[in-house]
Amino acid sequence: MKFPVSKTVTILLIAILVYSGFTFFPDNILSWDVFGYYLYLPFTFIYHDLGLNNENIIHEIINKYHNSATFYQAIKLPAGNYVMKYSMGMSILYSPFFFIGHLFAKLSTHPADGFSLPYQYAIFIGGQVFTITGIIALRKVLIQFFSDKITAITMVIIVLGTNYFYHSSFHGQNAMSHNFLFTTYAIIIWLTILWHRSQKLKHIILLGIVCGLTILSRPSEIVCLAIPLFWGVWNKETVIEKFNLLVRQKKQVILLLIILLTIGGLQFIYWKIFTGKFLFNSYGANAGEGFEFLNPYTLKALFSFRKGWLIYTPVMIFSLLGFAGLYKKNRSIFYPLLIYFIANLYIVSSWSCWWYAQSFGQRALIQSYPVMAISLGYFLVYLNDKKRNFRITIYFVMFAFIVLNLFQTWQFIHGIIYSDQMTKDYYFKVFGKTHANEEDKKLLLIKRSFDGKENFANEEEYDRKLLQKREFEDLKNNFSTRFALSGKKSVLLDSLNIYSPVIEASYREITDQDHAWIQASAYIYPTVDIRTNPFSFVIHFEYNGYAYKYKAFDSENMNLKLNEWNRICFDYLTPEVRRKTDKLKAYIWLRGKGELFVDDLQVEISESTQ
């Protein structure tokens, strides 16, 4: 019997992905977002401090292993403990490999601290296992609908023609959520097929577990339930048939719900223990991030040269076209897949940080590729029925898109394509090139630091203008005439009046560009040693009353003279504002109890001339 070509392709694709992963082995796989996904495990089973009450441990780990430039992976609560930013699903998926790593650490000379090399290797191998499982599961799904040949072609396009290749081999080395969830989605579809075919109890149990872990890994993945829920439904008669099926199998349906609630309940219990609430918005500490369901960024998510899905993964245009063929050829699965895709795209593109930080293309759509692989397969079915010349032309375009994806992956790895600074002008400037010069790089969006350190070094490329200046001559309360730099009044701060008047302006009033530099200055007259009467010069943006991109220049870092006027100033780069109406606020905050005098609070704006 002839060995199926799709199995040969599966083996080759797995070999390519595994080889790429080992070739670009990470310095530390437990870093950045993966560090945040993973924290539940060592702080539950090694440090027994899931609330991260002893933050010195975190700082020691980061200093030793360099997991992150800043500790953004958890939020400090007023009670003093921390709560994890990310939900715990990925930790559960990592857990078998964590325990293997812990065992090897115990048997080796490496510290059993949850982050040494045995743990890093174990999580890396775990990612490889999930990669292999995902490719095998994808083939199992596709072969249910297509010929061996079309299954093989579809798999090559999905793996080598999309940003899945980069994000499963180079970025996060298999440990990011997208690679794991690609696999769980392939398994969800496979189990959905099996259960609707036989209604076996084991399939519904496994389906509940996999769906539950998928949702627990990223709560927005609750849309995965659309796949089994609407499977086989496409008209009034099939709605009735599906309803009757669920009624007949009500015990299994109830079991499925119990499994989902049990797995999801783990997160609710965690939040209740450490926040006092069953529901907690762990992203809420950063008001600059959140869902904008009434104003989604769908067109940008699809077509922007910064991170547009169809710009950086153009081969998926054929997957979208394939929904037409799916409708004609297999209407029983058309609606569940279409409903899932639309709902998922809407949720993904409603996130205010729609470019999803450091990534190649739209990484948040990668887990949807097992679904999109089916519609892509139906496009290939449609294509096989067309005339030879048309078919050859389209296959040539697909091949060109695969080559483009592989070349741009190479460009990304070598720093020619950037992870979040891309513009249309720069994209075409480096298109097809193996090198980008400094002049080309001036076309990029401004580079934003991970560690919060900002240095306005190229002032000659900006035009400066005055936004506001407060001389405080209009004050009717909390002013002093004892000391005044200009005019007759200055602001008096003391234990009853700890904030100066605020300079504020909306982003729209500041600039119409993608960024601006803020130069904030004020004059301070201290009459008490600042070591016992500290203050801060504060700048932040505000969304719905909550501050984000909060920066404070503390008096402990200033060299001030007593009983005379001192000019203080610092630079501030505007953030990626959530809305153009978000307001900048700049003010002095007295943290001590003594007197402090403030005058001539001023904000200047520098806009790029490029």
Please report, for the domain that includes residue 541, its CATH number. 2.60.120.260
419 lies in a domain? no
Among 313, 206, 197, 314, CA closest to 260: 206
Is 84 found in the same domain as 152?
Answer: yes
Domain that holds residue 386: 5-278+286-413
Give per-residue burial for 453-471: e unless 16+ CB within 10 Å, then b.
eeeeeeeeebeeeebbebb
Is 246 found in the same domain as 153?
Answer: yes
The pLDDT value recorded for residue 480 is 92
The stretch 449-477 carries a mean pLDDT of 91
Among 52, 63, 35, 14, CA closest to 120: 35
Name the β-bridge partners of 522: 568
Is 524 found in the same domain as 380?
Answer: no
Q: Are 344 and 351 in contact (CB under 8 A)?
A: no
Tokens of residue 2, six digits: 């002839």
Q: Are 122 and 92 in contact (CB under 8 A)?
A: no
Q: Are 31 and 68 in contact (CB under 8 A)?
A: yes
3-state SS assignment for residue 519: strand
3-state SS assignment for residue 418: coil
The values of phi and psi at residue 61, to 5°, are: -65, -50
Is 407 found in the same domain as 493?
Answer: no
Q: Three-state SS string across 62-129, please?
A: HHHHCCCCCCCCEEECCCCCEEECCCCHHHHHHHHHHHHHHHHHHHCCCCCCCCCHHHHHHHHHHHHH
CA 152 distance to own-chain centroid: 31
Q: Are 560 and 524 in contact (CB under 8 A)?
A: yes
The pLDDT value recorded for residue 284 is 77
Q: Are 310 and 364 in contact (CB under 8 A)?
A: no
Q: Are 492 and 479 in contact (CB under 8 A)?
A: yes
433 lies in a domain? no
Q: How many degrees, rounded to 5, is the angle at CA 54 between CA 52 and CA 58?
A: 70
- DSSP structural state of residue 499: B
Is 141 found in the same domain as 37?
Answer: yes
pLDDT at 588 exceeding the cut of 70: yes
Is 500 found in the same domain as 369?
Answer: no
Point out the domain boundary residue: 413, 446, 469: 413
Is 477 found in the same domain as 371?
Answer: no
Q: Three-state SS string across 465-481, please?
A: EEEEEECCCCCCCCEEC
The C-alpha atoms of residue 507 and residue 487 are separated, in whole angstroms, by 30
The C-alpha atoms of residue 134 and residue 183 are separated, in whole angstroms, by 4
The pLDDT value recorded for residue 172 is 63
The amino acid occupying position 269 is: I
The pLDDT value recorded for residue 451 is 74
The pLDDT value recorded for residue 15 is 97
Among 98, 153, 107, CA closest to 125: 98
The pLDDT value recorded for residue 170 is 85
The stretch 230-252 carries a mean pLDDT of 97
The C-alpha atoms of residue 451 and residue 449 are separated, in whole angstroms, by 6
Q: Are 369 and 158 in contact (CB under 8 A)?
A: yes
The pLDDT value recorded for residue 486 is 85
pLDDT at 173 exceeding the cut of 80: no
Name the β-bridge partners of 45: none
- What's the total number of domains in the chain? 2
Tokens of residue 570, six digits: 């610092």
Is 470 found in the same domain as 400?
Answer: no
86 lies in a domain? yes
User: With pLDDT > 90 as the criterion, what percentage of the chain qualifies?
Assistant: 93
Burial class (CB in 10 A: 0-12, 13-18, 19+), 80: exposed
Is 489 found in the same domain as 375?
Answer: no
3-state SS assignment for residue 488: coil
Is 325 found in the same domain as 215?
Answer: yes
600 lies in a domain? yes
The pLDDT value recorded for residue 610 is 76
pLDDT at 450 exceeding the cut of 90: no
Is 246 found in the same domain as 147?
Answer: yes
Least confident stretch, 103-112, 186-195, 431-440, 454-463: 454-463
The C-alpha atoms of residue 242 and residue 47 are separated, in whole angstroms, by 49
49 lies in a domain? yes
pLDDT at 69 exceeding the cut of 80: yes
The pLDDT value recorded for residue 1 is 61
pLDDT at 285 exceeding the cut of 80: no
Point out the domain boundary residue: 413, 432, 451: 413
The values of phi and psi at residue 499, to 5°, are: -115, 135
Dihedral sign computed on CA atoms, order 245, 250, 255, 259: positive
The stretch 590-595 carries a mean pLDDT of 96
pLDDT at 2 exceeding the cut of 80: no
181 confidence band (pLDDT: 50, 70, 90): very high
The C-alpha atoms of residue 362 and residue 565 are separated, in whole angstroms, by 52
The C-alpha atoms of residue 160 and residue 183 are separated, in whole angstroms, by 16
Q: Are 105 and 119 in contact (CB under 8 A)?
A: yes
pLDDT at 518 exceeding the cut of 80: yes
370 lies in a domain? yes
Q: Are 521 and 500 in contact (CB under 8 A)?
A: no
3-state SS assignment for residue 381: helix
- Residue 52 CB contacts under 8 Å (≥ 6 apart), including other chains: 39, 43, 58, 74, 81, 82
166 lies in a domain? yes
The stretch 25-46 carries a mean pLDDT of 95
The C-alpha atoms of residue 7 and residue 199 are separated, in whole angstroms, by 28
The C-alpha atoms of residue 33 and residue 43 are separated, in whole angstroms, by 16
The C-alpha atoms of residue 608 and residue 258 are separated, in whole angstroms, by 56
pLDDT at 562 exceeding the cut of 90: yes
The pLDDT value recorded for residue 24 is 85
Task: Determine how many CB atoms are found less than 10 A away from the CB of residue 378.
Answer: 27
The pLDDT value recorded for residue 20 is 93
3-state SS assignment for residue 541: strand
3-state SS assignment for residue 601: strand
The C-alpha atoms of residue 610 and residue 606 are separated, in whole angstroms, by 12
Among 382, 363, 364, CA closest to 320: 382
Between 357 and 403, residue with greater pLDDT: 403
- Residue 283 CB contacts under 8 Å (≥ 6 apart), including other chains: 85, 289, 290
Q: What is the CA radius of gyration of the chain?
A: 28
The C-alpha atoms of residue 164 and residue 174 are separated, in whole angstroms, by 10
Is 474 found in the same domain as 379?
Answer: no
CA 406 distance to own-chain centroid: 23
The C-alpha atoms of residue 69 and residue 63 are separated, in whole angstroms, by 9
